[in-house]
Amino acid sequence: MKQPSEMSEREYFACVGQRPGVFVGRTSFHALTAFLIGYDQHAIRSGGSGLSGWSEWLVDRRGRDCKHAWPGQVLHMALPNGWDSVAELSDVDEQQAIAVLFQLLDEFAAERELSDKAGMGQPTETQPRR
């Protein structure tokens, strides 16, 4: 297994998503969003891009904005019929929210990888080889 420092951002998110309890203890949607907010802040302070563009990507993906920060956007997509208490999700809602969170993170990271490759002049699926 690769060390976290050797992983792409997408690989790292997949690693966290496969075994979230290793990273946050008791696995919950809120613990994982707090972990990701910390990840983002550390990356930015270290000169990385962190999750920059993530909130805007979620709004575009959902097709509308709301008064919630990005965790709320994820919940809207994961639980389109709403939820009783944002502080205490049911076990079923918790599992669904976590699954959707990591699915969305993977899609976001994949798009960013393609964009980074395109920006560096490397061929992508949408950019023909020269």
User: Which pLDDT score is estimated for 107?
Assistant: 96
67-123 pLDDT, tens digit per residue, is: 889 999 999 999 998 888 777 899 999 999 999 999 999 999 999 988 877 776 444
Instruction: Tell me the C-alpha distance between 119 and 105, whole Å.
Output: 21
User: Looking at this protein, which amino acid is placed at residue 6?
Assistant: E
Which are the contacts of 68, defined by CB distance < 8 A and separation ≥ 6?
Answer: 75, 76
Other beta carbons less than 10 A from residue 24's beta carbon: 16
4-43 pLDDT, tens digit per residue, is: 888 888 999 999 999 999 999 999 999 999 999 999 999 9
Instruction: Tell me the C-alpha distance between 79 and 96, whole Å.
Output: 8
Work out the pLDDT band at 48, boundaries 50, 70, 90. Answer: confident
> Is the torsion defined by CA of 28, 30, 32, 35 positive or negative?
negative
